[in-house]
Amino acid sequence: MMKLVLNRFRTVRGAVVGRLSQEIADRKGGVVDHEHICDTVEREEGCLEPGEYRVVVAKCRSFARKMMFLEAVKKEASSSSDASSGLGCSPLPLPEICERCRLERKHHRFGCMDELHALSCPMLQPGNGPFRLRKGGILIGEAHAPGFVLRSQELFLQLFDRVNKVLRRGGEVVIRIE
């Protein structure tokens, strides 16, 4: 299992700046260190709630490629006798055309961009700045000016390859947002 940690540490002009790192664990499962992967930028109004999210790779019609979507991982408070670790997840509805993609063309044609930005589509994605992000979108890249990232596409592809490799091997990728 690959565990990623997103630490948010600053808000600048409507953008939340953070750092994405990978937990490095020893053989007993204890956390030894964190390896820095990239910097992140989110819109202040569209930030995801702190918690754990599972990464799911699926086709996005808007980007016309496979993207890394985030689905919330809920802790079950039930005292049932499960053999599992107590973590459950609600299934992420990833239909052929998600709600964002279905409504994007309609709202863009009529100029209703506020309604489009209010749609929730939590995913990790490349980009320059947070101002066109939808609710739940996280830009990855190398921090430059406050609220902007550089080398976004390159770092996105590196992270995508790492995550995809873990998922193809039957593993799981979890992001903890703090």
pLDDT, tens digit, 9 for 90 and up, residues 109-161: 555 556 555 567 889 999 888 877 878 889 999 988 888 899 999 999 999 99
30-53 mean pLDDT: 90
d(CA 175, CA 21): 9
CA atoms within 13 A on the CB side of 158: 11
Run of H or E residues at 35: strand 31-43
71-97 mean pLDDT: 49
> What is the per-residue pLDDT for 134?
79
> What is the per-residue pLDDT for 80?
42
The ranges assigned to domains in the chain are 2-74+92-177
User: Position of tokens 């999210």?
Assistant: 53
> What is the per-residue pLDDT for 133?
80
> What is the per-residue pLDDT for 38?
95
Residue 65, pLDDT above cutoff 70: yes
Buried b (16+ CB within 10 A) or exposed e, 122-145: bbbbbbebbeebbbbbbbbbebee
User: Position of tokens 């030894």?
Assistant: 32
59-81 mean pLDDT: 73
Residue-wise pLDDT for 9-18, tens only, equals 999 888 999 9
SS3 166: helix
Contact by Cβ (8 Å): 162, 140? no
Residue with the bigger pLDDT between 10 and 27: it is 10
Q: 23-27, 39-43, 47-51, 172-176: which range is least confident on average?
A: 23-27
